[in-house]
Amino acid sequence: MKKWLIVVVLLAAMVVSYNWLANTQIKPTIEEAVKPPPQVPQKKATMTPGRVVELHTTKGEIDFVLFEKDCPKSTKRIADLAKEGSYNGVKFERVVPNLLIQTALAKTKKPINTIPRELADGLTNTKGAVGMARKKPVNSAVSVFYILIEPMPHLDYDYAVFGRVIRGMDVITSIKKNDTIKYAKVRPMTGADRKAFGKVLEIESERRVN
């Protein structure tokens, strides 16, 4: 009788586990495991700043420029979703203190296709880099993106970097898991934005020298 009861319990546990796995979505993420760096792409980045994305979060505002010439597919995806309001109410579901923050999937009414990984020599995972998160297949990015608080050079030319933060690093460092994007908007670049972007590149250059 006891053996029969144990078998029933084990079978029930197996059914519960199967159902949990079947209904659990594997979320896009970025890998932190150190591995040999991918080959540097032949395409050279122009790093031409395009439009600006504003993320109005529960902790404050974050602004980043889009490298629309270098990453047309990635930037169009992010800009389109922001304009549609698909990032409104989206949480930062992954936060690694002093390293990165990462959004959840955008809130779209219909499933959207994956986009190919876009790489260019010069678009690296430096401080303030904004990149597409994905699953293991390299062309599996959908709508999740990450922002780096500190450089992660072992990710260079493995994940598509499509933007750079120009304001709000203090907000980024204050973000906690499940903090929320209240709303996102896309706007043209201003003269002040261009100056801020130039300052970011200047600081980055000084960091590499030192």
CA atoms of 144 and 29, how far apart (whole Å): 8
Find the angle CA(128)-CA(132)-CA(133) to the nearest 5 degrees. 105
pTM: 0.84
Query: Which range is least confidently modeled, 10-14, 181-185, 190-194?
Result: 10-14
Neighbours of 118 (CB within 10 A): 21
Nearest to 171 by CA among 125, 128, 107: 128
AA letter at 77: R
pLDDT at 26: 37
For the chain, the C-alpha Rg in angstroms (whole number) is 20
Q: How confident is the model at residue 209 (pLDDT cuts 50, 70, 90)?
A: low
| CB 185, CB 51: distance < 8 Å | no
Q: What is the dihedral of CA 81, 40, 139, 149, to 10 degrees?
A: -50
| CB 33, CB 168: distance < 8 Å | no
